[in-house]
A and B are shown apart, each in its own frame.
Chain A
Amino acid sequence: MSGKQRVKMPKTATKGEVIKIKTLASHPMETGFRKGKDGKPIPRNIINKFICRFEGKDVTVFNLFPSVSANPYLAFSARVHKSGTFEFEWTEDGGASTKLTKTINVT
């Protein structure tokens, strides 16, 4: 999947804390409803799925539809019980995906 992905979240937290996670992916989110200069519809190409995992377990799963704006921004929460690695995965139409990982130190 082309484009850049960014995740902003704290590096440290206390046990049981609810942290805020902000994510941004650069992607045109082409709806499939637009027409190009030649009058033909531009094929749909969107990020249709975004998953937030912690230590391999799905925490929150997002299903996105063409109504999500270009360069999808998603902000949400997660509760952390121990130190570990968050994995974020964006999947676009056609199945191409990109992963990004962030570690958190929980005390």
Chain B
Amino acid sequence: MERRQVLKALATGLVATAGFGLDANATPEQAAAIIKNLVGSGEVMESKVHIDAPAIAENGKTVPVSVSVDSPMSESDYVKSIHILAEKNPLPEVISVHLTPDSGAAELSMRTRLSKTQEITALAVMNSGAVHMARQTVKVTIGGCGG
């Protein structure tokens, strides 16, 4: 996956959001379009990717999310990028990480905002072009996208 593809996907997201005004939330369709852009014509496998996030988040302003991918991270077999999507946030993208074999391990911990109860998606693009995915539902008591 190339950076310009992500930018293109983001631009599409921005345009779509602008059309609905400031309070609009992204739709799962938008997230699906971004996923499709990342995956291309290949197949998505629901394996190798692990999401660690709370089942219930009291405060949507900071929800700890960890993603790890099973990979030896060697020169010949490594994870090229990890993408986290929150399909019901105003913009579905949360973070895109571009890794190299020197990243050592395909893992990431961060804190995300979640506007409402939703499913988070983590995608991992391997250097071979294969795409792996995992999803987890997080219940949000108080939304965290302001407004």
**Tally of contact residues, A, Cβ under 8 A:** 31
Whether A68 pairs with B110 at a CB distance below 8 angstroms is: yes
Q: Chain B, interface size: which category? A: 35 or more
Closest to A30 in B: B146
A95 nearest CB across to chain B (Å): 16
Closest to B103 in A: A60
Whether B109 pairs with A77 at a CB distance below 8 angstroms is: no
Stretch at the interface among B36-44, B83-91, B132-140: B83-91
B100 nearest CB across to chain A (Å): 6
Taking Cβ atoms with an 8 Å cutoff, the residues of A that contact B are 18-19, 31, 33-35, 41, 54, 57-70, 72-79, 81
Known contacts A33-B145, A33-B147, A72-B110: A61-B22 contact under CB 8 Å: no
Whether A76 pairs with B111 at a CB distance below 8 angstroms is: no
Whether B94 pairs with A65 at a CB distance below 8 angstroms is: yes
Inter-chain pairs besides A33-B145, A65-B94, 17 sampled, C-beta below 8 Å:
A18-B105, A33-B23, A33-B146, A60-B98, A64-B95, A66-B90, A66-B113, A67-B95, A68-B111, A70-B61, A73-B111, A74-B108, A74-B110, A77-B107, A78-B102, A78-B104, A79-B104
